[in-house]
Amino acid sequence: MEHERFHYKTLDDVRAAMAGAGADFPLSEDVSVLNAPFDFSSCRAENRILFQPMEGSDSEDDGSPGEMTFRRYGRYAGGGPGILWVEAVSIAHEARASRHQLYMNAKNLDGFKRLVEHAKSTCMSRNGFEPLLIVQSAHSGRYSKPEGVPAPIIACNNPLFEGDDPIAKDRIISDGELGALAGLFGESARLAAEAGFDGIEIKACHRYLINELLCAHTRKGIYGGSFVNRTRLLIEAFGAAASSAPKGLMLTTRLNVYDGFPYPYGFGVKKGGGLEPDLAEPLLLISMLKEKFGLELVNITAGNPYVNPHVTRPFDKGNYIPEEHPFEGVARITGLAAEVQRNFPDVAVACSGLSYLRGFSDMLAAGMVGGGRAAFAGFGRLALAYPDFPRDVFAGKPLDAKKVCLTCGQCSKLLRAGKNSGCVARDREAYAPAGD
């Protein structure tokens, strides 16, 4: 079925479009399941709504949270998600995706302590509980731009991205340099615990460096080629984090289980299998993380927001028209999460890709959680546009059609331009001037 924009007025309209597109994802009108708590070994999430990490490009020059950072996380926390997953925080200056990507270090730690306190106290005052705060520890890799101009650090060249103009060989990170990164992830974990975060994520998605290594079939040396080599840095980073942080700090990852690119340039596909997902390696990796580090939570995603964003987050407006109906994308990304949850019933899976359903997003979330296809319903764009939506859901109100995300892609355009990123459609006073 061809791509079409969201125009559905009723749940019956949505179901009819699902049938027409041959898409299968669960919808439940009983959204009360989203208000159930979830107990981890050392902490509790008060409900099943999770706000996904969404970069705002609004730090101070030294990487500490800026005024707009505090504004965003105050709005998020006020909405009352059970888990508030803080956006990508760089492990090093040269690994920042922009001049204003967050970067936590010993010199600016007080700023992150204030951000954690601000988020937790805001949620407590409005909702009567503190959210779990997980921080995303990241190396931007090929998307590094610390001074505002591209300064890529890549695992290997990729003709699907670069065509006939490969990135210079001196931008390919060496095995020695990769080996040193594990210590930086460990230091990030120590700092995260000191700042008051409840958990730290080692980012392994969206073609940031670790995700690029997961599919580095063409790379030579100990970080490329075999499965053991390609997963080496992620395992080393987890090990360093486990050694550096207090025992109570949760260790997790946001993991691309499917890149949407064929072998040898994609993870989650098999040799000769084209674009068909194959979760054999992703499931083996999750099993390793569970056995070695007691993984209790994994955040499942797919695709690349720069190259094939329809795989990551189905949309109405973008810089190309996908060769599929958006509901096919919703079914794929939620189906991937469900398959992981089926294989690991004792690991809490957070799903993605829900915001496209707009006013019916809570019903998709309830279908995923209530049907045992995910433990947590992850929202990114909807949280940016409508941060109070969990309060409406828990109060028994339908989602407000005048507040939901329109999947217009303007937030991503601001981020790619290195400007403060937010919802132009629903938060115009704060972000529309920056987008002009």
Which tens digit of pLDDT belongs to each residue from 117-168?
999 999 999 999 999 999 999 999 999 999 999 999 999 999 999 999 999 9
Amino acid making up residue 47 = N
Q: Which residue has the tokens 């409005």?
A: 126
DSSP H or E stretch at residue 415: helix 410-416
DSSP track, 293-342 = H---EEEEEES-TTT-HHHHS--SSSSS--SS-HHHHHHHHHHHHHHHHH
Q: What is the pLDDT of residue 315?
A: 97
Kindly report whether the peptide bond that precedes residue 264 is cis, defined as omega within 30 degrees of 0.
yes
pLDDT over 70 at 92, yes or no: yes
Distance CA 315, CA 393 (A): 23
Answer whether 284's CB lies under 8 Å from 227's CB: yes
Distance CA 119, CA 71 (A): 10
pLDDT over 50 at 59, yes or no: yes
Phi, psi (5° rounding) for residue 317?
-120, 130
For strands 44-45 and 49-51, give the pairing: unpaired
Amino acid making up residue 314 = P
Phi, psi (5° rounding) for residue 137?
-95, 125
Q: What is the pLDDT of residue 433?
A: 64
Q: Output the six-digit token pair for 276.
A: 């068909």
For strands 44-45 and 38-39, give the pairing: antiparallel
Answer whether 211's CB lies under 8 Å from 146's CB: no
Q: Output the six-digit token pair for 434.
A: 């920056």
Distance CA 365, CA 33 (A): 9
Q: What is the pLDDT of residue 432?
A: 82
Q: Output the six-digit token pair for 316.
A: 């109405």
DSSP 418: T
The mean pLDDT value for 95-107 works out to: 97
pLDDT over 50 at 434, yes or no: no
Q: Which bin fits 408, alpha (ψ -120 to 50), beta or left (φ > 0)?
A: alpha
Q: What's the pLDDT tens digit per position in 376-408? A: 999 999 999 999 999 999 999 999 999 999 999
Question: CA triplet 28, 34, 37: central angle to 5 degrees?
Answer: 150
In the chain, what percentage of residues exceed pLDDT 70? 99
For strands 132-138 and 83-90, give the pairing: parallel
The mean pLDDT value of the chain amounts to 97
Residue 1 binned pLDDT confidence (cut-offs 50, 70, 90): confident
Q: Which residue has the tokens 């270090």?
A: 105
Residue ranges and CATH numbers for the domains of the chain are 11-435 (3.20.20.70)
Amino acid making up residue 280 = A
Distance CA 133, CA 118 (A): 11
Q: What is the pLDDT of residue 405?
A: 97
CA 91 to centroid of chain Cα atoms? 17
Residue 416 binned pLDDT confidence (cut-offs 50, 70, 90): confident
The model carries a pTM of 0.97
Q: Output the six-digit token pair for 141.
A: 């890799």
The mean pLDDT value for 36-54 works out to: 98
The mean pLDDT value for 354-372 works out to: 98
Burial class of residue 326 (count of CB atoms within 10 Å of its CB; 0-12, 13-18, 19+): buried
DSSP track, 67-133 = HHHHHHHHHHHHH--SEEEEEEEESSGGG-SSTTS-B--TTSHHHHHHHHHHHHHHHHHHHSSPPEE
Distance CA 278, CA 160 (A): 20
